[in-house]
Amino acid sequence: RSTDLVRNFKRRDAVVVTVLLAAALSYYIYTPMPDAIQEPWKLMAVDATFRTGMNLGFDSTMVALVGSRSPAGVVPGVKISDITFAGVPVRVYEPPAGGEGHLRRGLMYLHGGGWAFGSGKMGAYDKVSRVISDELNTVVVSVEYRLFPEVLFPEPFLDCVVAAKHFLSPEVLDKYAIDPERVAVSGDSAGGNLAAAVAQEVLAEPRILDSCDSPAANSDEILSVKFSVQALIYPVLQALDFNTPSYVQNRNMAILPRQVMVQFWLQYLGADISLRPQLIANNHSALQHSALTPELRSRLDWTSLLSQKFKKSYKPVVVERDSHGLLKKIPGLLDTRSSPLLAGPEVLAKCPRTYILTCEFDVLRDEGLMYARRLKDAGVSVTSDYYEDGFHGCLSFISWPLDFDVGKRALRSYMTWLQNNL
């Protein structure tokens, strides 16, 4: 009897422990989700993995989420080469050879990851690059720009500029049989930021760049070939207002809550993470800053650039004074190479035909919409592709078991636009 009693106590203890662990796990995973999100528990699980990654290291977490690095070599139908463009590592995807003298499209892709993690070689990015290369007869160049903490702004941008200028050179376009009139730059999230900034850079007048330790030694050369289109997927475009309607509405949204995006910005610009509360309060864009002229502020004034559908009943957060001298501590906040939305209309007018994908449940929604509006006002042809049930990063979740219907729809729409416009 005593033996049976001990066994019963052990079984009961095991059940209690199991229930407590399950409850703790559910509590950790659970995040309130908007009703429009399909399969909310799946997204909660993904989000919990991301939050774990913030503590344990993003590289291993991203591998688990979006797939391991694909081996170099030949993928059925597409030739893959890991090489360098002027010292910058890239992965080149070449479609099956076409007819004699047949020219192909070209696409330079810049992966997302908050300028801190990720790789174009990871499963989701690699899969999309292979599909685009094969289905659209496109030479895709995925750039492995350097990341935080190895480098800070502007080094990732300079890496991408170097790779872009090498890619756009007549010699390289001829080598890969790419039509110089059909070359695109594209990217998602932080990669969308870099794509927009690179597009502005190569289309503007040449200038000398401070290369620091970057291989961008010849950044001031004049290019005879320019990007014909840019395709930006939920891009990061500004860091002066963290209280836009989408930032406030989605401040606790899965995958990319506001505090994480602000942390990515501080890391990228080499600032102390302890300043995060100051930026979330918009102290860095206080009215006292003479550098923030009315003209500059108008370039990201969501009260005039957004439609009422997105403004809703939100109010601007405007601070009178900044007692911390934030703009002096973080000068990169005003640099158009980090914040393409701040570029003047004369720069935007030179931008190529543009595709911008935005999602309702994304802190970055409004800056994508504002950039689309400003480009249109500057005379650029823009396709704004908005998903009412979309969330940040959805296009990376297209393979079982972490597949979402909105991600598959977004990918197909993105590829259709490229097919029709590139």
19 falls within a domain? no
Structural contact between residues 407 and 397, judged by C-beta atoms closer than 8 angstroms: yes
329 falls within a domain? yes
DSSP for 245-297?
HHHHHTTT-SSS-HHHHHHHHHHHTT--GGGHHHHHTTGGG-TT-TTS-HHHH
Is it the case that residue 108 has pLDDT exceeding 60? Answer: yes
8 falls within a domain? no
pLDDT of 40 reads 83
Can you tell me the mean pLDDT for 43-65? 66
85 falls within a domain? yes
> Which of 159, 241, 392, 396 is flagged as catalytic?
392
195 falls within a domain? yes
For the chain, percent of residues with pLDDT exceeding 90? 72
E strand or H helix at 217, and its extent?
A: none
Is it the case that residue 166 has pLDDT exceeding 50? Answer: yes
- Which segment, 70-79, 267-276, 322-331, 395-404, is predicted with the most confidence on average? 267-276
Query: Which of 26-40, 64-78, 140-154, 282-296 comes out lowest in average pLDDT?
Result: 64-78
17 falls within a domain? no
Structural contact between residues 170 and 225, judged by C-beta atoms closer than 8 angstroms: yes
> Which of 47, 362, 366, 385 is flagged as catalytic?
362
Phi/psi-derived region of residue 86, left when phi > 0, alpha when psi is between -120 and 50, beta in every other case: left
Can you tell me the mean pLDDT for 207-216? 42
Query: Is the peptide bond prior to 96 cis by the omega test (within 30 degrees of 0)?
Result: no
DSSP for 217-242?
TTTTPPPS---SEEEEES----SS-S
Can you tell me the mean pLDDT for 252-273? 97
Domain span at residue 125? 56-421
Which pLDDT band, with edges at 50, 70 and 90, does 33 fall under? confident
Structural contact between residues 179 and 138, judged by C-beta atoms closer than 8 angstroms: no
Which pLDDT band, with edges at 50, 70 and 90, does 21 fall under? very low
Specify the 3-state DSSP secondary structure of 187. Answer: strand
370-414: pLDDT as tens digits: 999 999 999 999 999 999 999 999 999 998 888 999 999 999 999
What average pLDDT is seen over the chain? 87
190-202: pLDDT as tens digits: 999 999 999 999 9
pLDDT of 209 reads 41
pLDDT of 197 reads 98
pLDDT of 92 reads 98
Residue type, 304: S
Can you tell me the mean pLDDT for 145-150? 97
Is it the case that residue 288 has pLDDT exceeding 80? Answer: yes
> Which of 189, 285, 339, 396 is flagged as catalytic?
189
157 falls within a domain? yes
Is it the case that residue 100 has pLDDT exceeding 60? Answer: no
CATH number of domain containing 61? 3.40.50.1820
Q: Is 189 a catalytic residue?
A: yes
Is it the case that residue 324 has pLDDT exceeding 90? Answer: no
- Total domains, the chain: 1
CA dist., res. 113 & res. 260, Å (int):
11
Residue in this structure with the two tokens 């689309």, named with its chain if needed = 372
Structure tokens that stand for 366 in this block: 């409004």
Q: Is 392 a catalytic residue?
A: yes
Which pLDDT band, with edges at 50, 70 and 90, does 37 fall under? confident
E strand or H helix at 220, and its extent?
A: none
Query: Which of 53-57, 154-158, 204-208 comes out lowest in average pLDDT?
Result: 204-208
